[in-house]
Structure 1
Amino acid sequence: MAPSFESFTVLSQAVAVQVRQRNPKGTPAVLFLHGWLDHSHSFDWMLEHLPDAWQLVLLDFRGMGRSEHAPLGAQYSFPDYLLDVEAVLDDLRLNEVHLVGHSLGGIVSTAYAAVRPARIKSLTLIESLGPSGGGPEKARERLQGFLDDSHRPPHRKRYGTMEEAAARLRESNPTLTEAASLHLAKHGTESYEGGYAFRFDPRHRRRFGHAYDEAQWLAISSAVTCPVQLIHGSQGYVLSDTQASARKAALRIARPLTLSGGHHVHMEQPEAVARAIEYFIRGALERAAG
């Protein structure tokens, strides 16, 4: 029987972040970071295929999943996610870890690996090659959107059944399978005023006042020193060839792995993605032992 997960919270700048951990004394340690408005349970099916001996750690970013929302009057920003990662690693006293990030989680993983290179031993990106901040000419428009959104009151939409909530997820992400959407809805909603509502803080839908333009993101990516693996879904998100090539070159990604599936390919092909992660991390460990 595979080891079970324990759940607990870690304070990240006074915000309680939900953490799940399996085999705390295992090795190597692998931290999984989920996508925007998702939660750590998006990795559940994939984790079943990873070695029992490994220490697996998952967190819900602040304002998502089972983590606490930011205080009233506060806003979310991209660096907040780096604070969450650092708080969890510090609390668990993990000085060396392998990162696996899906979508937003991959963007956070890349940025964290760039600024904490000694701490990150390998980086697996699932459907994630960086943000879409646009060029510097977008800066004024972005600030304007940030101010406009700050006046929108948070709204939590209610769904009569779990199936309705799952259907809403498929509207936003048409490649998501019915089984995957139900799993995400089951772990991402709570009973609310006679129905169900997603637990994520609706303030996450507001636009950030700042985003990295292409030159900034390439500089951050170029600072990553650990081995990097990229896993794509054949029907996943697509960047322009020029942009994708530049970003892969900055991260020194030689051969991305493309699997049949969409943006949540790790939920559609859990065993194949787990196998790729295990092979890649074992290779990184062997090269380090060298």
Structure 2
Amino acid sequence: MPTALESLTVDAEGLALHVRQRAAASAPAVLFLHGWLDHSHSFDAVVAHLPETWRLVLLDFRGMGRSAHVGPGATYHFSDYALDVEATLDGLGLDAVHVVGHSLGGIVAQAYAAARPERVKSVTLIESLGPAGGPPEGALGRLRSALNDARRPPNRKRYPSVEAAAARLLENSPTLTQGAALYLARHGTEPVDGGLAFTFDPRHRRRFGMGYDEAQWMALQAHITCPVHLILATHGLRHDDALMRSREQGLRTLAHPPLHIPGGHHVHMEKPAVVAEALIRAIH
């Protein structure tokens, strides 16, 4: 990277969040939010192509990357990720930012933009058009699944090498490239007795007991007032076509048709220069 990022900690109601930043003196300020079980290093290749004058902030969500895990008996809720965003802005003294979110990070970016419109100047979504949602009838099954998952003890699996950890990522994410998997594993593992383990809290694998159904999500999405930019990969993850059309049509401030880039779900790691070029066009 042309400029090193400073590593620091911000406080989220007593929980230590890891943030990396390039504190340039001028605008714009851009906050990057990573995907589920990933970490802020997933954006490193993109950041290397962005203007030196931009202030960049890369957050590790709670229980992921180098951020702290919640305590015994606690769980992770979707609203906690929005709190992480707010704690980061407050901790760094940022009134408003442009937000770039991949996958889960994009869902959080949309929710936060709806809840705090005065603090979000624009949202760029990478492979992200909201949660799975579903009908209201899914609420009971979701709660039952969460209760069942809570009975399973968290297990931090050990791996003998970074390559073995990367192979596990490839099993779970078939569109991930070998190079991206190795990079995520290299920055997302730590030494433990018996080898290496991923830094994310294994409790993240438990299902949420509460979530948005489709009507709730669309109502929330309707309150986004800032410009929204959408980047999709040609071989990325998708909802069904009807739902995709509904979500896109529901984004009232979508600045232009979605940009389709050849690649998989982690397209920002595969084609960082192309994604960076799109960000430069979108962010002012």
TM over 0.5: yes
Partners of 2:121 and 2:108 in 1: how far apart? Answer: 15
Gaps of 5+ in 1: 283-290
Q: Contact between 2:114 and 2:223, CA under 8 Å: does it hold in 1? A: yes
For 2:277, the aligned partner's letter is R
Instruction: Name the stretch that deviates more: 19-28 or 202-211.
Output: 19-28
Q: In the alignment, what sits opposite 1:54?
A: 54
CA-atom RMSD in angstroms: 1.0
Q: Contact between 2:133 and 2:217, CA under 8 Å: does it hold in 1? A: no
Q: Contact between 2:24 and 2:52, CA under 8 Å: does it hold in 1? A: no
Encode CA deviations 1:65-99: one digit per residue, 9 max, x unaligned.
00000001101100000110000001111112000
Q: In the alignment, what sits opposite 2:159?
A: 159
Q: SS of the residue aligned with 1:136?
A: coil
How far is the alpha carbon of 1:245 from its aligned partner? 1.1
Q: Contact between 1:34 and 1:102, CA under 8 Å: does it hold in 2? A: yes
Q: SS of the residue aligned with 1:32?
A: strand
How many aligned residue pairs are there?
282
Q: In the alignment, what sits opposite 1:255?
A: 257
For 2:220, the aligned partner's letter is I
Q: In the alignment, what sits opposite 1:266?
A: 268
Q: In the alignment, what sits opposite 1:246?
A: 246
Percent of pairs with identical residues = 60
Q: In the alignment, what sits opposite 1:288?
A: none
How far is the alpha carbon of 1:199 from its aligned partner? 0.6
Q: Contact between 1:10 and 1:17, CA under 8 Å: does it hold in 2? A: yes
Alignment of 1:137-286 (within 5 A): 137-252=137-252, 253=254, 254-282=256-284
Instruction: Name the stretch that deviates more: 263-272 or 239-248.
Output: 239-248
Encode CA deviations 1:14-63: one digit per residue, 9 max, x unaligned.
11000000024231000000000000000000100000000000110000
Partners of 2:104 and 2:59 in 1: how far apart? Answer: 13
Partners of 1:186 and 1:26 in 2: how far apart? Answer: 32
The TM-score with structure 2 as length reference comes to 0.97
Q: Contact between 2:37 and 2:200, CA under 8 Å: does it hold in 1? A: yes
Q: In the alignment, what sits opposite 1:125?
A: 125
The TM-score with structure 1 as length reference comes to 0.95
Q: Contact between 2:103 and 2:128, CA under 8 Å: does it hold in 1? A: yes
Q: Contact between 1:3 and 1:23, CA under 8 Å: does it hold in 2? A: no
Q: Contact between 1:23 and 1:53, CA under 8 Å: does it hold in 2? A: no
Partners of 2:145 and 2:24 in 1: how far apart? Answer: 43
Q: In the alignment, what sits opposite 1:35?
A: 35
How far is the alpha carbon of 1:118 from its aligned partner? 1.0
Q: In the alignment, what sits opposite 1:286?
A: none
For 2:58, the aligned partner's letter is L
Gaps of 5+ in 2: none
Encode CA deviations 1:87-136: one digit per residue, 9 max, x unaligned.
00011111120000000000000000001111111100000000013211
Partners of 1:133 and 1:149 in 2: how far apart? Answer: 19
Partners of 2:59 and 2:239 in 1: how far apart? Answer: 27
How far is the alpha carbon of 1:221 from its aligned partner? 0.8
Distance 1:12 1:24, change over 3 A: farther
Encode CA deviations 1:188-210: one digit per residue, 9 max, x unaligned.
00011121110100000001111
